[in-house]
């Protein structure tokens, strides 16, 4: 497994993957310890880095990257549902639960959302509380607000 880091307007990001797919995108914090198990390499991540830079510049609304979502089947269903949330829009945990065919699983959706291994690309930041409130986010609520504001066109970020 390989990794690289990149600067972003929200701090240094950790990208994990191999020559075929992105398997992780993490904000600063405990998950950076993961990199100690991997080998540093920049080249396999060139496209991902470029697309993330374009996203933060407000020039990209969809990612076109090979990703590999590893996790329990329920989590993968949630993460696949997150990929259907359009840029600039949000969904509630209950809406995602209904979308995957389990309307009573809003809490379980929240749990799976919090374990999304590929932040930003798999847009877990687009999931909010039923009342419109911002709820937990691996990068912190300020980061979640920043990403949502960027996508709403009310904020411009530069790396």
Catalogue the active-site residues.
Answer: 124
Task: Provide the angle, in degrees to the nearest 10, between the axes of the packed helices 73-82 and 106-114.
Answer: 80
Give the torsion sign (CA, 140, 93, 62, 117): positive
Contact 35, 82 (CB under 8 A): no
Q: Show the 3-state SS of 66-116.
A: CECCCCCHHHHHHHHHHCCCCCCCCEEHHHHHHHCCCCCCHHHHHHHHHCC
């Amino acid at each position: 497994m390989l990794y690289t880091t990149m600067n972003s307007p929200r701090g240094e990001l950790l990208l994990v993957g191999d020559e075929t797919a992105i398997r992780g995108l993490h904000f600063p914090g405990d998950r950076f310890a993961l990199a100690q198990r991997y080998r540093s390499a920049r080249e396999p991540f060139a496209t991902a880095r470029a697309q993330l830079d374009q996203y933060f510049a407000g020039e990209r609304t969809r990612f076109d990257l090979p990703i590999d979502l590893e996790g329990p089947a329920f989590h993968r269903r949630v993460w696949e549902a997150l990929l259907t949330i359009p840029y600039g829009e949000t969904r509630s945990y209950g809406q995602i639960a209904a979308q995957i065919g389990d309307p009573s699983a809003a809490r379980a959706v929240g749990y799976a959302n919090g374990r999304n291994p590929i932040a930003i690309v798999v847009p877990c930041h687009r999931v909010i509380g039923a009342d419109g409130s911002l709820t937990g986010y691996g990068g912190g609520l300020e980061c979640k607000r920043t990403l949502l504001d960027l996508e709403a066109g009310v904020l411009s970020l530069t790396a």
